[in-house]
């Protein structure tokens, strides 16, 4: 029995069936082609949005249906079954757009949120720089106030949705004289086509081939002061606030990824024979699969407890960091062993486990590395 069972309504189940049917028809058949192309086409985003699947939590006045967080979880669960981890709509729906919803002015919400729901606007967030990853305080991109504008200069890298994005939220230093680097950071919204905003090359990655990741450059990029998100100098604190949901979203994707990898491997070992019997009948393999199943089950219980906390408005930095750390690491342990049990076939691109293995690796890196999660947890323990 799932901890979430009492939270699911008939509407949730109907929604899941609609999502599943849509993915089976509109995503899974095209996943291999998108991997080869290195991008999910904009038309796929638009079709997806037309079903009401983008940002379903947004208020009705902006085009949403005010759905609860379980709808986002359902979408993440069903996405895992498509074998198309590069369709990065959770980044848009549950990580980037919430910044606009939470910190944007009424004018900004009216301007951008409807497009975020309809798929006319695809979003990204630009934090990482060539010399700055986990250490956000070391960001060097600047945004200097000049009359009723900000002039942005700097470089960003590893930006997910970086090629397709129509709008990017940029973390930049607006006060170089601030006593603390945390006090001088702000968030600015930059729209595609703004002079001085250049999308660089699409980066070639180990995995998530269908997900577009890019470099970005800002050279005397002038944006209206009205594009400041929230208050000047509060950007770092906004990032810290929203990173909790981002890490929960990462944990969600890793959990369902581990479940899907284990399911595919159990099915494979039941049909693959060696020495006259299915390899699942060998004690070593059956015991190891039992160990993996136990880890996956533990991850599911922990994740669901955090989703319940989230639904009920409870924020827990320590547990969110623990989930991001442990579940993402667990995914990598699971897929590595699952590849091994596929033998040579596990190294072949035609088998889904190969893609799962490649796509899983980044989960312990983005949204805060495992090492940063351990640092946060240790500080929460008073160490």
Which residues are marked as active site? 246
Residue 27 parent element (H or E): none
From the CB of residue 281, how many other CB atoms can be counted at a distance below 10 Å? 14
Q: What distance lies between CA 238 and its chain's CA centroid?
A: 17
- Per DSSP, helices labelled H in 185-316 are 235-271, 283-311
CB contact at 8 A, 100 and 116 = yes
Tokens at 205, concatenated: 């990655």
Residue 48 parent element (H or E): helix 42-50
Q: Report residue 171: phi and psi, to 5°.
A: -85, 125
CB contact at 8 A, 207 and 355 = yes
From the CB of residue 109, how many other CB atoms can be counted at a distance below 10 Å? 18
Tokens at 3, concatenated: 């901890």
Distance CA 179, CA 137 (A): 12
Distance CA 51, CA 18 (A): 9
Tokens at 256, concatenated: 């369902």
* Residue whose tokens read 């922990």: 302
Q: Where are the beta strands (DSSP E) in the chain?
A: 123-126, 142-146, 149-160, 167-173, 185-191, 197-202, 213-224, 228-229, 273-274, 277-278
Q: What is the dihedral of CA 71, 74, 79, 80, to 10 degrees?
A: 150
Tokens at 56, concatenated: 């379903």
């Amino acid at each position: 029995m799932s901890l979430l069972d009492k939270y699911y309504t008939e509407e949730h189940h109907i929604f899941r069936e609609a999502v599943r049917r849509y993915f089976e028809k509109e995503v899974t058949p095209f996943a291999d082609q998108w991997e080869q192309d290195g991008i999910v086409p904009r038309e796929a985003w638009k079709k997806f949005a037309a079903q009401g699947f983008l940002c379903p939590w947004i208020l009705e006045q902006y085009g949403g249906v005010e759905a609860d967080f379980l709808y986002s979880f359902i979408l993440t669960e069903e996405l895992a079954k498509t074998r198309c981890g590069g369709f990065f709509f959770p980044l848009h729906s549950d990580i980037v757009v919430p910044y606009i919803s939470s910190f944007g002015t009424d004018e900004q919400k009216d301007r951008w949120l409807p497009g975020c729901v309809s798929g006319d606007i695809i979003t990204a967030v630009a934090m990482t720089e060539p010399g700055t990853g986990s250490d956000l305080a070391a960001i060097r991109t600047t945004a200097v106030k000049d009359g009723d504008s900000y002039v942005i200069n700097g470089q960003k890298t590893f930006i997910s949705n970086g090629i397709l994005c129509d709008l990017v939220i940029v973390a930049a230093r607006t006060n170089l004289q601030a006593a603390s680097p945390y006090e001088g950071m702000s968030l600015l919204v930059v729209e595609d086509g703004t002079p001085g905003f250049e999308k660089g090359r699409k980066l070639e990655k180990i995995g998530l081939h269908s997900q577009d990741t890019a470099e970005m450059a800002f050279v005397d990029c002038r944006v209206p002061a009205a594009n400041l998100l929230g208050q000047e100098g509060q950007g770092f604190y906004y990032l810290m606030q929203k990173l909790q949901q981002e890490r929960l979203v990462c944990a969600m994707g890793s959990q369902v990824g581990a479940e899907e990898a284990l399911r595919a491997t159990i099915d494979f070992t039941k049909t693959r024979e060696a020495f006259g019997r299915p390899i699942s009948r060998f004690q070593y393999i059956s015991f190891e699969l039992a160990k993996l199943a136990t880890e996956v089950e533990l991850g599911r219980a922990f994740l669901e407890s955090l989703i319940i906390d989230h639904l009920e408005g409870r924020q827990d930095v320590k547990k969110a960091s623990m989930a991001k750390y442990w579940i993402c690491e667990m995914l990598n342990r699971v897929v590595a062993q699952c590849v091994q049990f596929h033998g040579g076939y596990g190294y072949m691109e035609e088998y889904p486990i190969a893609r799962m293995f490649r796509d899983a690796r980044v989960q312990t890196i983005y949204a805060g590395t495992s090492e940063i999660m351990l640092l946060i947890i240790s500080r929460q323990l008073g160490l």
